[in-house]
Amino acid sequence: MTLRKQIIAILLALMLVPAFALAQEKEATVAGYESGSRMLTVKGKDWEQKAKVGSKLAEEKADLLKADTKVLIEFDDRGGGDIRVKSLNPR
């Protein structure tokens, strides 16, 4: 393999690492949910995140949006601070 191909392979691998890290499900506890703005606040062991919940997901998972509910959550970062809940499941 030539040096150029090796460099390209390394650069591609480095670009895919952040996307994979964001796509992982995280264990969290629901800290609060504002139904008007559909903003969900979740806390992990050493992190806290606010994210918007889509209306369809909010209807389907209404029982998981209560405070102190333990969940597995996956985020979708759309850039510019726009973070959405991609999936929400019971833990």
Look at the pTM and tell me if it is higher than 0.75: no
Q: What pLDDT, in 10s, does the model give residues 6-65? A: 888 888 777 766 655 555 789 999 999 999 999 999 999 999 999 999 999 999 999 999
Token digits of residue 20: 């994979």
What structural domains and CATH numbers belong to the chain? 25-90 (2.40.50.140)
| CA dihedral sign, ordered 39, 20, 64, 71 | negative
Q: What's the confidence (pLDDT) of residue 69?
A: 94
- The residue that leads in pLDDT, 13 or 1, is 13
Q: What's the confidence (pLDDT) of residue 48?
A: 93
| CA dihedral sign, ordered 60, 23, 43, 49 | negative
